Amino acid sequence: MIDKELPIVLLEDNDADAFQDALTGLYNRRYLAEALRDECNRARRYRTPLSLLIVDVDSLKQCNEEHGRQAGNEVIKLVAAAVAKSCRSCDIVARYGGDEFAVVLPDTDAGAAMAVAERILDELGNRHLRWLGVSLPIAASLGLHTATKPAQLSPTVIIERADEQLRQAKRQGKGRVTAEPAEPGQAVLPENSGGTGR
């Protein structure tokens, strides 16, 4: 069950059910779409980086097949709690799909975003699900993309690039985070501008 001491990333009881994931208590995909759009607009306006993490639960299908869907749901809730605990008050955590979560990291460069990703992996490494006398390890793969240019600041581009990094993590053996190499001196600037950001 998700820690009730995490109101910064969980919805309050009086928030609209339309934006809440029933299983985890996190924001849902509908809310994520609106929040990511708003954060892209904000990053473009203030010339700040915007990062997105996609977290995919490893081996959930195998867990469901061997231990049942109820066990799989408990794994999803444990991962949700670990992700929420690892994030900051300004971050937006949502359930993105059946076994996927997304974390929007406003005003966050690649290095700071990687630090959040590593906290998530560390937190997951400390968790196991006790299920019918069996200890099931909890693991996930993460894909990270940091948008630093105006052309990258669209929900479609950010999601596609983070998802590609997630696929890289899966191909490299799961239980890890991958990200595009940072470009030297990255900064979000308007096109044809010689400024240095804010």
> Residue 12: what pLDDT?
53
Q: Which fold has domain 17-179?
A: Alpha-Beta Plaits (3.30.70)
Active-site pick, 56, 99, 109, 163:
99
| Cα Rg, the chain, nearest whole Å | 17
**Which residues does 47 contact at the CB level (< 8 Å), separation at least 6?**
187, 188, 189, 190, 195, 197, 198
**How far is residue 159's CA from residue 126's CA, in Å, rounded to a whole number?**
28
Q: Is the CB of residue 3 less than 8 Å from the CB of residue 53? A: no
What pLDDT, on a 0 to 100 scale, did the predictor assign at position 187?
A: 52
Q: Are 165 and 143 in contact (CB under 8 A)?
A: yes
- Is 99 known to be catalytic? yes
> With pLDDT > 70 as the criterion, what percentage of the chain qualifies?
83
Across the chain, mean pLDDT equals: 86
Q: What is the pLDDT of residues 43-63, one digit of tens each?
A: 999 999 999 999 999 999 999
What is the DSSP annotation of 141-154? EEEEEEE-SGGG-S
Tokens 């949700």 sit on residue? 80
**pLDDT at position 15:** 53
Residue with tokens 């600041």: 153
Q: Report H helices in 47-96.
A: 60-67, 69-86
* Domain definitions of the chain by residue range: 17-179
pTM of the entire structure?
A: 0.84
pLDDT score recorded for residue 7: 35
Give the three-class secondary structure for 64: helix
Q: Exposure pattern of 147-181 as b/e (b: 16+ CB <10 Å)?
A: bbbbebbbbebbbebbbebbebbbeeeebbbbbee
Instruction: Report the distance separating Cα 72 and Cα 154, nearest Å.
Output: 33
- Out of 6-10, 12-16, 101-105, 131-135, give the one with best mean pLDDT: 101-105
Q: Which residues contact 20 (CB under 8 A, 6 or more apart)?
A: 11, 26, 27, 28, 31
